[in-house]
Chain A
């Protein structure tokens, strides 16, 4: 069973010759309200205000919170650093797969930061017009495993200790499911699963160590009639099919500079799966002029003109110092574009 509200919405717009526009952005909102990433990731009021500022100014079709891959890992007790104005990171701490059984059985729905993110979701749901969908992020099962075990060791374990890795993935998936339920109860309408570390895998390993676990999360979301989006950054050309088969209703893909060919990707997914992407977040939109951004957006939209199942977005999270006028140019170009395919 799949819940695919996103695809219907995208199609509805397409019939009106328009596109949904939903950049992955949170950090620039912190700049707008003169705050820092550390405060945004630790104080839910500041976090909410940053996202609200962005939503008020740009009126995107979906709002996303701050992208933060440390929430679940921090909640299960991993060492986490909070730089003053950079996203939280997890320094590598030695861990091996024989220690999976001693990982804490944590109720993540009682974690302070997880509750903060839930609170942000609830505030956004309550205070932002209902036509703007409320998205949330959860860490992907493989990526959370990589944060616990180390990215290199996890990649090796795929071959050397698949059983041990599966045990860890069962653990991470449970944690993520708990967190997902908390966010859904708080009002999330789209759950975006962040799985960057799995871009390193072959398609069969990807399916075995990420896709199969994402299936469980998307099934849970479907029960609640919530859409799921699979976000994998990096070059995912070889993974599109496996991603699309995991029961999610959207794939969020990285920019052409990372190797992704979006028009090609769309032909590889069924019509009830939307492709979301893929303006380079650190390309023209960060360093170019508004005119260049507009040209880049138009070029992308023209290249996918014949496909209804597309949502205009960025390939990954926009950095905090993305120029406001470039985000404006992105939104405007997206809003003004008209489908010419029919």
Chain B
């Protein structure tokens, strides 16, 4: 399938208007929006993730690309729901209890959406109950973000809470979090940035399927 260069570049540039108009035209003309999503928008967001990982772009560029993509997603979400667009899985993402930092978490959310997952965004300050609710709503992976050394310890409680439930995987991240810490508390995965967050989820969902 061919890539729509205009859409691809609009995501890279964070050009929300162009993204909206391309999707709106496709919807008006009854064209397949899945194709735009899968062959243009998702690859563009992946490219942004890679560039971010390589320190070629920074948070502002990521945020406006994310905003452009979100605008596109909002337009096509009703259609995707109708068409039973096959989701790759449901992922819950939230910043842990006591912590209000959400910029990194928001980037993880948008990258996962971009990669084709259904995402439950639990927001900030998430206690165990919020994670439980997300699991009840179908989440197979719960992702915890923390930016404070004082709140990252809460992740251990989340891991322990789901310890006896083999179907749920816990993935953690945030600036002070390391692979070593993830291993020490028995988390199923860790990602250094939003790009790695998607990669670890892809690995784990492959394992779940």
A205 touches B60 (CB 8 A): yes
Q: Are A155 and B175 in contact (CB under 8 A)?
A: no
| Residue A200 at the chain B interface, CB threshold 8 Å | yes
Summarize A's interface: helix, strand, loop or mixed: helix
Q: A residues within 8 A CB of B64? A: 156, 159-160
A303 close to chain B: CB less than 8 A = no
Q: How many A-B residue pairs have CB under 8 A?
A: 42
**Is A200 within 8 A of B60, CB to CB?**
yes
B106 and A152 contacting across the interface, CB-CB below 8 Å: yes
Name A141-171 residues within 8 Å CB distance of B: 151-152, 155-156, 158-160
Interface: A174 (CB within 8 A): no
State how many angstroms separate the Cβ of B67 from the closest Cβ of chain A: 7
User: How far does the alpha carbon of A200 sit from the alpha carbon of B61 in the complex, in Å?
Assistant: 10
Contacting residues of chain A (179-236) with chain B, CB-CB under 8 angstroms: 200-202, 205, 234
A238 interface residue (CB < 8 Å to B): yes
- Note all chain A residues with C-beta closer than 8 A to B176: 257, 282
A138 CB to closest chain B CB, in angstroms? 23
* Among B20-28, B51-59, B115-123, B158-166, the stretch in contact with A: B51-59
Contact B175 A156 (CB under 8 A): no
Contacts of A112 in B (CB 8 A): none
B103 interface residue per 8 A CB criterion: yes
Which residue in chain A gives the minimum CB-CB distance to B106? Answer: A152
Interface size bracket, B side: 10 to 19
Q: How far is the CA of A201 from the CA of B14 in the complex (A)?
A: 16
Question: Does B204 lie at the interface of the complex (its beta carbon under 8 Å from any beta carbon of A)?
Answer: no
A156 touches B63 (CB 8 A): yes
CA distance A159 to B67 in the complex (A): 12
Query: Judging by beta carbons under 8 Å apart, are B59 and A200 in contact?
Result: yes
Question: Is there a chain A Cβ closer than 8 Å to B4's Cβ?
Answer: no
Query: Does A258 lie at the interface of the complex (its beta carbon under 8 Å from any beta carbon of B)?
Result: yes
> What's the least CB distance linking B2 to chain A, in Å?
29
Question: In the complex, which residues of chain A have a beta carbon less than 8 angstroms from the beta carbon of B106?
Answer: 152
Q: How would residues 29 to 67 of chain B score, 1 for a CB under 8 Å from any chain A CB and 0 otherwise? A: 000000000000000000000000001011111011001
State the A residues within 8 Å of B (CB): 151-152, 155-156, 158-160, 200-202, 205, 234, 237-238, 257-258, 282, 286, 319
Closest 3 CB pairs of A and B: A200-B59, A282-B149, A202-B58
B residues with a Cβ closer than 8 A to A are 14, 55, 57-61, 63-64, 67, 102-103, 106, 149, 175-176, 178
Can you name 30 A-B residue pairings with CB atoms under 8 Å?
A151-B103, A152-B63, A152-B103, A152-B106, A155-B59, A155-B60, A155-B63, A156-B60, A156-B64, A158-B60, A159-B14, A159-B60, A159-B61, A159-B64, A200-B59, A200-B60, A200-B103, A201-B58, A201-B59, A202-B57, A202-B58, A202-B60, A205-B58, A205-B60, A238-B55, A257-B176, A257-B178, A258-B175, A282-B149, A286-B149
A201-B60, A238-B55 given; 16 more Cβ-contact pairs under 8 Å: A151-B103, A152-B63, A152-B102, A156-B64, A159-B14, A159-B60, A159-B64, A200-B58, A201-B58, A202-B57, A202-B58, A202-B60, A205-B60, A258-B175, A282-B176, A286-B149
